[in-house]
Structure 1
Amino acid sequence: MGKILLTATNAMIFHFLVPHVEKLIEMGHQVDFASTNLEGYDDLLRSRISKLPVNLTYIHLERSPFKLSNYKGVADLKRIITKGNYDLIWTNEPVMSIATRLAACKVRKKGTKVVYMVHGFHFFDGSSKSSWGIYYPIERLMANFADYLITINKEDFIRGKTFGFKEVFYIHGVGLDTGRFRNATVNKIEKRKEIGVPQDAILLFSVGELGVRKNHEVVVRALGKLHDKNIHYAICGEGILEDYLKNLCKELDIADNVHFLGYHRDIPEICKSSDIYVFPSQREGLGISALEGMASGLPLVSSYINGIRDYTEEGVTGYTLQPYDVEGYAKAIRFLADNPKVRKMFGTYNMKSVQVFDICNTTKEISKIFNEILLK
């Protein structure tokens, strides 16, 4: 068994990585955490991992790759890595992984294996020239500072193979508790009343930050075209575009049909109270919230880009579109709103097909990969 250092932001560890660490510990590995101290997550994270036999060290690191203060984070990581005598370093996310890989240069020469897990490259087929111009050369360069790459979508897997890693692995995401969504029970009448949606309305649902990447605007504009008072749209999320989107709804005269719910913990119950899951993102490493909609038995109306392509199929999971196709979103929503049997058909298929992304499967995938690497 090996001694492993996991580096990631607190948010990533808190939301996604703890089950994988639990599995690794169960198999006999020792795991330590090095993480950024993100306000709102540090106490929650400490509470969650307090029962695990791990050491958690906070480091100084900013989200922006251009912050000079990040040199402090690299120095922090060097001290942790030098003292830790690790067999394997598992790093996540662009800025954290760059700092970790730079800090691990000396120990890597002595045999410590460095694994970079990418949660979606910022460049992909169809992304902007600026994304390719900035992020592609950085990732190509930094590939020289890691031994192995783990990807969570097939496009990144194929592209990562050209970067010069010793080996590139593909896994089915970081894992989703599909049973939590599949088996959720809810009083639909009460839940709809709570969020302000009429009982007989067709309810579209999205979860995601109110920012450019999640692209909620295309659904709002599609509803503006439909102008059907019986179709409502609920969004769980917060972000810088909230006022813009609310004003747009007013301009399109659909303010009463779009519900900005903010942050919610009862996502499975809201999913079970909805009719259609919409997921119009511009970029996704995979897109966990769409998988949650599928696990709840909802049809998808989604964009068809990098990670989302891995689990969507036109006319099978629902309808797939280009991110800015307002007319296409309007037509797909209209058709599904008018055809409950089709919604049920897509939803039934989705509930079954999403099982490969379940946390039970992905924890096995990651632990198997690490065992293989440690034996090399």
Structure 2
Amino acid sequence: MPDRPLIIHIITRLEPGGSSRNTIDSCAAQAADYDVALLAGPHPDSAQLLKLLPPTVNYIEIKDLRREISSAHDFKALREIRAVIKRLNPAIVHTHTSKAGALGRLAASMANLGASRPAVIIHTPHGHLLYGYYGPFKTFTFRLAERFLAKFTDRLIALTKGELQESCAAGIGRPKQWTVIHSGVDFKPPAVPAHKRDLDIPADALAVGTVARLETVKGVEYLVRAAALLAKSVPAIKLKFVIIGGGELEGPLRALAAELGVADRVIFTGFRRDATALAAALDIYAQPSLNEAMGRAPLEAQALGLPVVVSRVCGLPDIIKEGSTGFSVKPADAQALAAGLEKLILSPDLRARMGAAAKVWALEKDATGFPRFGPESMNIQLKKFYNELIRGQAEGTTFHG
């Protein structure tokens, strides 16, 4: 194995969110053992995230790499990525997210043609698009595309067992191509945790909340509807619902809260960089997503000692201990969400027990000696995974499924 193998990471764009932070953390940690290059498309938040990288990481902006489908931009991006891969001659090309995963894997496969040492191609979807995002036709097209692209991929990484199982059930890759490596979550406690008064919540009120981008797949509509149901089912309890995050649906969600008569109970904070600190002011955390590969925010909430109620979708059931740290409920169902929340609202003892168990669970260590959901565990597992593949590459092992 070369002393300093080169790893190329490719992501569509660097923006606030789990996949970008996960990729940045991986690059930063891997720079100690590998030469690392990071390719990404342009985004206004790139500069802020790039500050987290050591200077030894070679950042290359692919100006035509965009999230939106565009034959002109996509073809240019494909050619540029292929040229970079051929020039740098990496041991591994690791792609992240759908668009970069498609163009990056095709470009790497093209660059591998005739190469004396073909690069190992790894893809981490950071969640699938099999439901919750698009209509039937677009979802079907995505599934076909991912099945096709899996043929050009040596290994696929799922963030949870749930994501792996659903991807395999959809015919994306073969089981032997997949491995599970949790996305690393930084559990460092907020320097200045928020209190209820910081959100204008009375000290005697119960605060139920979520941290999410305000888009359809996050299911925040169902939390607003659950707020209306709970206002009727437990009228004697003073409840406040806190929605931490911004996005295109903030206006419609505010209108829905007003329509349902709970505008005075629902607090919208807008986008906040101190979202984890704000979550510390909550009593109960809710994650009503329609699709979620893992869910960093509910893990951060559990590490803060909050009981959680999550949708029973993809990887969310994998990040809680059912009945011990929280509950999973039927997705896209305000009544089911309200029922799960009501159990915790009505029982201070249950909230306390589940909150304490949640903190232990989230921070529990695995075989690496670090928290199983933490960045240290993720990076140790990735290093072992990479080294096994690089050794196999040197021995002439064929990986493609």
TM-score after normalising by structure 1? 0.91
Q: Distance in 2 between matches of 1:47 and 1:125?
A: 33
Q: 2:98 aligns with which of 94, 98, 110?
A: 94
Structure 2 alignment gaps of length 5 or more? 364-371, 393-401
Q: Distance in 2 between matches of 1:165 and 1:153?
A: 14
Q: 1:78 aligns with which of 70, 76, 82?
A: 82
The answer to whether residue 31 in structure 2 is matched with residue 25 in structure 1 is: yes
Q: What is the correspondence of 1:152-191 to structure 2 with a 5 Å cutoff?
A: 152-158=159-165, 163-164=173-174, 167-172=177-182, 174-180=183-189, 186=193, 191=195
**Preserved contact between residue 309 and residue 328 of structure 2 (Cα < 8 Å):** yes
Q: CA deviation at 1:334?
A: 2.2
Q: 2:373 aligns with which of 349, 357, 360?
A: 357
Q: Distance in 1 between matches of 2:282 and 2:156?
A: 38
Q: Which amino acid aligns with 2:7?
A: I
SS of the residue corresponding to residue 315 of structure 2 reads: helix
Q: Which moved more, 1:259-268 or 1:95-104?
A: 259-268
The answer to whether residue 268 in structure 2 is matched with residue 260 in structure 1 is: yes
Q: For residues 185 and 38 of structure 1, do their structure 2 counterparts lie closer, same or farther at Cα, with a shift above 3 Å needed?
A: closer
Match of 1:287 in 2: 295
The answer to whether residue 302 in structure 2 is matched with residue 298 in structure 1 is: no
SS of the residue corresponding to residue 158 of structure 1 reads: helix
Q: For residues 22 and 62 of structure 1, do their structure 2 counterparts lie closer, same or farther at Cα, with a shift above 3 Å needed?
A: closer
Q: Which amino acid aligns with 2:145?
A: I
SS of the residue corresponding to residue 306 of structure 1 reads: coil
Structure 1 alignment gaps of length 5 or more? none
Q: Distance in 1 between matches of 2:67 and 2:91?
A: 27
Q: Distance in 2 between matches of 1:205 and 1:373?
A: 42
Q: 2:22 aligns with which of 16, 27, 30?
A: 16
**Preserved contact between residue 108 and residue 114 of structure 1 (Cα < 8 Å):** no
Match of 1:321 in 2: 329
Q: Distance in 2 between matches of 1:313 and 1:130?
A: 35
Superposed CA offset, 1:169-208 (max 9, x none): 1112x21112326xx653x6xx322222111110011111
The answer to whether residue 313 in structure 2 is matched with residue 275 in structure 1 is: no
SS of the residue corresponding to residue 348 of structure 1 reads: helix
Q: Which amino acid aligns with 2:277?
A: E
Superposed CA offset, 1:72-118 (max 9, x none): 11111011111111111111111111111111123334321111112
Superposed CA offset, 1:142-165 (max 9, x none): 111111111112133235566248
Superposed CA offset, 1:232-256 (max 9, x none): 0111111111111111111111111
Q: CA deviation at 1:342?
A: 0.3
Q: Distance in 1 between matches of 2:318 and 2:285?
A: 17
Q: Distance in 1 between matches of 2:323 and 2:242?
A: 24
SS of the residue corresponding to residue 199 of structure 1 reads: coil
**Preserved contact between residue 28 and residue 52 of structure 2 (Cα < 8 Å):** no
The answer to whether residue 245 in structure 2 is matched with residue 237 in structure 1 is: yes
Q: Which amino acid aligns with 1:373?
A: L
SS of the residue corresponding to residue 218 of structure 2 reads: coil
Q: Distance in 1 between matches of 2:9 and 2:265?
A: 44
TM-score after normalising by structure 2? 0.85
Q: CA deviation at 1:130?
A: 4.1
Q: 1:222 aligns with which of 207, 226, 234?
A: 226
Q: CA deviation at 1:125?
A: 11
Q: CA deviation at 1:29?
A: 0.8
Q: Distance in 1 between matches of 2:230 and 2:317?
A: 27
Match of 1:6 in 2: 9
Number of residue pairs aligned between Structure 1 and Structure 2:
367
Q: CA deviation at 1:129?
A: 4.1
Q: For residues 128 and 321 of structure 1, do their structure 2 counterparts lie closer, same or farther at Cα, with a shift above 3 Å needed?
A: farther
Q: Which amino acid aligns with 1:5?
A: I
More helix by share: 1
SS of the residue corresponding to residue 261 of structure 1 reads: strand
SS of the residue corresponding to residue 56 of structure 1 reads: strand
Q: Distance in 2 between matches of 1:306 and 1:127?
A: 16
Q: Distance in 2 between matches of 1:23 and 1:331?
A: 42
Q: Which moved more, 1:344-353 or 1:11-20?
A: 11-20
Q: 1:371 aligns with which of 387, 394, 399?
A: 387
Match of 2:125 in 1: 118
**Preserved contact between residue 149 and residue 165 of structure 1 (Cα < 8 Å):** no
SS of the residue corresponding to residue 286 of structure 1 reads: coil
Q: Distance in 2 between matches of 1:330 and 1:358?
A: 30
**Preserved contact between residue 147 and residue 165 of structure 1 (Cα < 8 Å):** no
Q: For residues 14 and 286 of structure 1, do their structure 2 counterparts lie closer, same or farther at Cα, with a shift above 3 Å needed?
A: closer
Q: CA deviation at 1:166?
A: 6.4
Q: Distance in 2 between matches of 1:126 and 1:284?
A: 11
**Preserved contact between residue 218 and residue 325 of structure 1 (Cα < 8 Å):** yes
Q: For residues 14 and 105 of structure 1, do their structure 2 counterparts lie closer, same or farther at Cα, with a shift above 3 Å needed?
A: closer
Q: Distance in 2 between matches of 1:99 and 1:123?
A: 19
Q: Which amino acid aligns with 2:58?
A: N
SS of the residue corresponding to residue 209 of structure 1 reads: coil
Superposed CA offset, 1:250-272 (max 9, x none): 11111111010012222333222
Q: Distance in 2 between matches of 1:234 and 1:335?
A: 19
